[in-house]
Amino acid sequence: MAKVAFIGLGVMGYPMAGHLAHRGHKVTVYNRTQDKAEKWVAEHGGRHAPTPERAAEGAEFVFCCVGNDEDLRSVTLGRGGAFKGIAPGAIFIDNTTASAEIARELAHEAHAHRFCFLDAPVSGGQAGAEKGQLTVMVGGEPKVFEKARPVIECYAKMVGLMGPVGSGQLTKMVNQICIAGLVQGLSEGINFAQKAGLDVEKVIDVISKGAAQSWQMENRWKTMTEDHYDHGFAVDWMRKDLAICLDEAKTNGALLPVTALVDQFYGEVQAMGGKRWDTSSLMKRLQRFK
């Protein structure tokens, strides 16, 4: 079993770190809010550290799951940052959904200090994290990936190497682009069914067996019809992700007209008070129009 550090105990990181501990790894955690770190240790064992640097000291694998590029730069390169404590030969595995640019920047810093870096954003949401059933999209060198893969699999159902550093983040962007259009389409379909006087449950039961089937349909149609959005992946976080996608598209020349439109719709949901609502709350926006 490995000596592991985990930085960031949010709705994703908390259960992910728990799975590492339950598989027998020796886990040291760091969280900006110490109370949460203490709670995690009481629940899962291990220990907590006062800084990312202290958490990373002596670890073979250092995991990180924070909010955005700025947070990531702070916990790695800032005062008391993890990169000051990582030993040569260790592997830093970043599960944050961030830009490909910062992944390459941190990989360069890691190389200069003789340790390894993988960008490894995840998909599957809070439920996937709690069940240890996340999909992990990894960018980095094949030899480093193969060394880290058995440890990453502690919280994953699928782990794939997508290419060099940055490829994991680029793949996560593809994931979010697909989800954005899909959730809007599902919202429109359910709203249409309701306006047409159809039994939505019967409609979903039939079309979910055909080409329209999706994870969002299976897991969100009922809460959407019940006007329940206090769960899942927050609109604020989705807009952060879509901003990354739209910025990257400016660089690579990809056209994202639907993604840009759905991002605007999410802005309207935020204005309705839905910053922390699940992304399926696009349905609520449609229901404003009678």
The set of catalytic residues is 172
HSE-up of 203 (CA within 13 Å, CB side)?
18
- As a whole number of angstroms, the distance between CA 280 and CA 290 comes to 19
Structure token pair of residue 101: 């640019």
| CA atoms within a 13 Å half-sphere pointing along the CA-CB vector of 94 | 35
- In the numeric block, the tokens 């697909």 are attached to 178
SS3 272: coil
What count of other Cβ atoms lies within 10 Å of the Cβ of residue 173? 26
| Residue 278: closest CA among 150, 134, 109, 127 | 127
Query: What value does the CA radius of gyration of the chain take, rounded to a whole number of Å?
Result: 20
Phi then psi for residue 247, to 5 deg, are: -65, -45
CA distance 72 to 74: 5
**C-alpha separations of 28 from 1, 18, 42, 45, 102 in Å:** 14, 11, 12, 9, 25
